[in-house]
C-alpha cells in the first residue's frame, strides 16, 4: 500500500470516528432540547422581526433592490474577469475589494497567493458589503431600529465568513492533510468538552481554565478581607512601602464581573502598582448572587456596597476623608453614591474621585443598547423572574457578540476545526469567570440608565429615599475613557464632564474597555491623549489634545498624589478596628455557578 493510500485510509478512519462521536452528541442534544422545549424562547432578541423589516422595505422599494443587485453583479463580473486574467498569468490585476484594516481573518498567505482562495475571499467581501449597505438603507434615520438592523446583519455576515468553514479555510485544510484528519477528531473532542448534556448549553473555551486559580496566580496581591456582609467583602491590601499616603483609596469595580481584572498578575495589576506607589488600597469584592438575593436592587447595592465600604475604610484607617475610584458600572454606582452623599451634606467624606470608562449619560451608550428595548426587557424580566437573576453566561455572550470575530469565531476555528487547545491567558480566564446579576438591580439599572437615561436628570432617580443630582458632585474628578471602547464609548464617557460640577480632568487612553484601563507603564503599550481644556464637544477636545506615548497610569498618579495628603505610617490590614477575616482574595470571588 502506498503512502498516499495509507494517508487517505487514516483520514477516513478519523472522519468515521468523528462522525460517530458527533451523532452521539447530536442525539443527546436533541433529547435535552425536547425535554426543555417549553422553556425555550425561540427568538429572545427578536431578530426575526428585525429581518422582516428588511424584507418589507425592499418589497415596497423594488427599484432600490434592483439597483443594488445590478451594482453587486457588476462588481462580481469584474471579479470574474480579474480572476480570469490572473489565471492567464496577469500579475498586474488589482483586487476588486480588500479586507478592512485590522481584519485578521485573512492573514494566511493562501488568501493572497492562491487564486482560488483569493476569489473566495473577494466574493465574500463583495457579498458582505452589499448586505451591509442594503441593511443600512432600511432605516434612513439614525436610531435604535437602524442600529439593531446593522448589528444583526453584521452578526450574520461575520458568521458566514469562509474562514469559519473547514472546506474554505486554507489553514484547516492544510492541517487536516498534515495530521491525517486528527485535527478534526481532536476538534470534536473539544466540542464535546464544551457541551453540557444536562443543560443543553454550549460554552466556547477561550483559555485553559485549569491553569488559573484566584489567590494563586490571579488575584494574588497579598491582603486581608476585613469586612463582609451579604453583598460584599472588603479587601485591604498589605503595604509594600514603609509609609503610605494619608488618604486611603477605595476601588469600586463593576459587579457584572469579578474584581480581579484590576489584579490579574503582578506585572499588570493596578492594585499592586498602587500599593507600590504608597497608596493604602481597599477594593470591593461583590458577591456572585444566588436566587435568594433576587430582590436586591440598586439602593441595596449602594447601601450594602459603596456606602458600607466608605464607612468601613474611614473607620478602619481613622481617616475622615478618603479617595475613591469607580470602574465601568462600578463608577456609575459610585456617582450615585457621591450624589447621595451630596444630598445628605456629607460629600466632604470624599476628597476626590476617579472614574474609569464610566458612563452617567446613556444617550449614546454604544452597541449594548441593541439588547435593551421594551420588547427585549419584557423577555428578560420573565427569565429573571423565574431564576431570580440574570445568568452570567448570558451577559458574557452579549459582550462577546460585540466582537464576534475575535471572541467567538477565532476560537471556533482554533478549538474545533484546527483541534488546538486554547492558550492559557489570564484575561480570558477572567472573562469566562462569569457573575450573575440580581433580578431587581439589573432590571432597575437597564430601565433607569439605558432606557430612560434618568441619572442625568436631577431628581429622576431616588435611592434610599434620596433624589440624586450629579450636578451636586463638587469634588475633583479624574475621568478616563478608552478610544476604541465598544462597551462605554469614549464620547459617551466624555459627557461625564458635563454633569459633574467640581474641578475635572479628562484623559483618553488608547485601546479598549479592558486594555485601555489595564495598561501598566512597564508594558510600554498604546498611548493616551491629554488636553486641559474641556470644550463641550468631544471631537473638539480630541482635536486639541496631545498624544503621549505609553500608559496613562503615571499621569493619573501625578494628579492623585496631590490629593492624597502627606505620608503616614503604613497601615497593616487587621491591626485596626476591623480584624482580618481571611486572606485576600476572599471567598466571594471564588463562588462559581
Q: Which residues are catalytic?
A: 328
Q: Are 528 and 552 in contact (CB under 8 A)?
A: yes
Closest CA to 358 of 244, 453, 465, 488: 488
State the Rg of the chain over Cα: 27
- Taking the CB of residue 202, how many other CB atoms lie within 10 A of it? 11
- Rounded Cα–Cα distance for residues 379 and 371 (Å): 11
Give 336: exposed, middle or buried? Use CB within 10 Å, 0-12, 13-18, 19+: buried
- CA 472/CA 120 separation, integer angstroms: 59
Q: Which long-range contacts (CB under 8 A, 24 or more apart) does 571-575 make?
A: 571/236, 571/239, 571/244, 571/248, 571/280, 571/316, 571/317, 572/238, 572/239, 573/223, 573/224, 573/226, 573/236, 573/237, 573/238, 574/224, 574/226, 574/236
- The DSSP H or E segment spanning 437 is strand 437-438
Alpha helices of 460-552 — where are they, by DSSP H?
490-494, 496-499, 538-543
Torsion of CA 516, 519, 523, 524, to 10 degrees: 50
Find how far residue 440's CA is from the centre of its chain: 22
CA distances from 12 to 189, 248, 432, 533 (A): 17, 66, 36, 68
Q: Which of 558, 570, 285 is nearest to 433 (CA)?
A: 285
- Torsion angle defined by CA atoms of residues 456, 460, 463 and 465, in that order, rounded to the nearest 10 degrees: 140
DSSP string, 84-144: HHHHTT-TTPPPS--PPTT--TT-STHHHH-HHHHHHHHHHHHHHHHHHHHHHHHS-S-SH
Sole residue written with cell 482554533: 414
Amino acid at each position: 500500500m502506498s503512502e498516499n493510500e495509507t494517508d487517505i485510509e487514516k483520514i477516513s478512519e478519523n472522519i468515521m470516528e468523528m462522525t460517530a462521536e458527533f451523532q452521539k452528541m447530536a442525539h443527546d442534544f436533541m433529547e435535552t432540547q425536547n425535554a426543555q422545549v417549553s422553556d425555550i424562547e425561540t427568538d429572545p432578541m427578536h431578530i426575526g422581526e428585525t429581518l422582516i423589516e428588511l424584507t418589507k422595505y425592499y418589497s415596497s422599494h423594488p427599484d432600490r433592490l434592483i439597483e443594488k443587485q445590478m451594482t453587486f453583479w457588476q462588481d462580481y463580473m469584474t471579479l470574474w474577469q480579474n480572476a480570469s486574467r490572473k489565471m492567464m498569468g496577469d500579475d498586474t490585476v488589482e483586487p476588486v475589494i480588500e479586507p478592512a484594516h485590522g481584519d485578521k481573518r485573512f492573514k494566511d498567505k493562501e488568501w493572497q497567493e492562491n487564486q482560488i482562495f483569493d476569489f473566495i475571499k473577494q466574493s465574500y467581501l463583495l457579498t458582505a458589503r452589499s448586505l451591509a449597505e442594503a441593511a443600512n438603507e432600511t432605516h434612513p434615520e439614525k436610531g435604535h431600529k437602524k442600529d439593531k438592523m446593522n448589528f444583526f446583519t453584521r452578526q450574520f455576515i461575520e458568521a458566514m465568513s469562509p474562514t469559519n468553514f473547514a472546506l474554505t479555510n486554507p489553514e484547516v485544510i492544510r492541517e487536516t492533510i498534515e495530521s491525517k484528519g486528527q485535527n478534526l477528531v481532536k476538534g470534536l473532542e473539544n466540542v464535546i468538552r464544551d457541551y453540557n448534556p444536562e443543560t443543553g448549553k454550549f460554552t466556547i473555551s477561550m483559555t485553559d481554565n485549569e491553569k488559573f486559580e484566584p489567590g494563586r496566580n490571579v488575584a494574588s496581591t497579598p491582603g486581608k478581607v476585613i469586612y463582609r456582609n451579604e453583598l460584599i467583602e472588603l479587601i485591604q491590601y498589605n503595604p509594600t512601602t514603609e509609609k503610605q499616603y494619608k488618604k486611603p483609596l477605595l476601588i469600586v469595580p463593576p459587579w457584572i464581573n469579578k474584581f480581579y481584572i484590576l489584579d490579574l498578575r503582578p506585572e499588570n495589576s493596578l492594585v499592586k502598582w498602587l500599593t507600590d506607589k504608597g497608596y493604602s488600597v481597599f477594593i470591593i469584592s461583590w458577591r456572585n448572587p444566588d436566587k435568594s438575593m433576587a430582590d436586591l436592587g440598586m439602593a441595596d447595592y449602594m447601601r450594602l456596597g459603596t456606602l458600607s465600604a466608605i464607612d468601613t475604610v474611614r473607620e478602619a484607617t481613622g481617616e475622615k476623608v478618603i479617595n475613591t475610584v469607580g470602574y465601568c458600572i462600578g463608577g456609575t454606582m459610585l456617582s450615585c453614591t457621591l450624589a447621595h452623599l451630596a444630598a445628605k451634606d456629607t460629600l466632604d467624606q470624599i476628597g476626590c474621585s476617579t472614574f474609569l470608562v464610566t458612563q452617567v449619560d446613556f444617550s449614546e451608550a454604544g452597541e449594548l443598547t441593541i439588547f435593551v428595548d421594551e420588547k427585549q426587557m419584557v423577555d428578560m424580566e420573565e427569565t429573571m423572574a423565574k431564576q431570580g437573576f440574570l445568568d452570567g453566561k448570558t451577559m458574557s455572550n452579549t459582550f462577546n457578540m460585540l466582537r464576534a470575530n475575535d471572541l467567538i469565531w477565532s476560537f471556533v476555528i482554533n478549538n474545533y476545526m484546527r483541534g488546538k487547545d486554547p492558550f492559557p491567558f489570564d484575561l480570558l480566564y477572567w472573562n469566562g469567570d462569569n457573575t450573575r446579576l440580581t433580578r431587581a438591580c439589573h432590571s432597575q439599572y437597564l430601565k433607569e440608565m439605558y432606557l430612560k437615561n434618568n441619572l442625568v436628570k436631577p431628581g429622576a432617580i431616588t435611592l434610599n429615599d434620596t433624589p440624586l443630582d450629579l450636578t451636586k458632585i463638587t469634588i475633583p474628578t479624574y475621568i478616563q475613557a478608552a478610544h476604541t471602547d465598544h462597551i462605554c464609548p469614549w464620547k459617551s464617557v466624555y459627557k461625564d464632564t458635563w454633569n459633574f460640577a467640581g474641578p475635572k480632568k479628562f484623559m483618553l487612553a488608547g485601546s479598549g474597555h479592558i486594555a485601555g484601563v489595564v495598561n501598566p507603564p512597564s508594558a510600554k503599550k498604546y498611548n493616551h491623549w491629554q488636553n486641559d481644556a474641556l470644550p463641550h464637544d468631544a471631537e473638539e477636545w480630541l482635536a486639541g489634545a496631545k498624544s503621549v506615548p505609553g500608559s496613562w497610569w503615571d499621569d493619573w498618579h501625578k494628579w492623585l498624589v496631590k490629593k492624597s495628603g502627606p505620608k503616614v505610617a503604613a497601615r497593616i490590614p487587621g491591626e485596626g478596628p476591623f480584624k482580618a477575616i481571611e486572606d485576600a482574595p476572599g471567598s466571594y470571588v471564588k463562588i462559581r455557578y
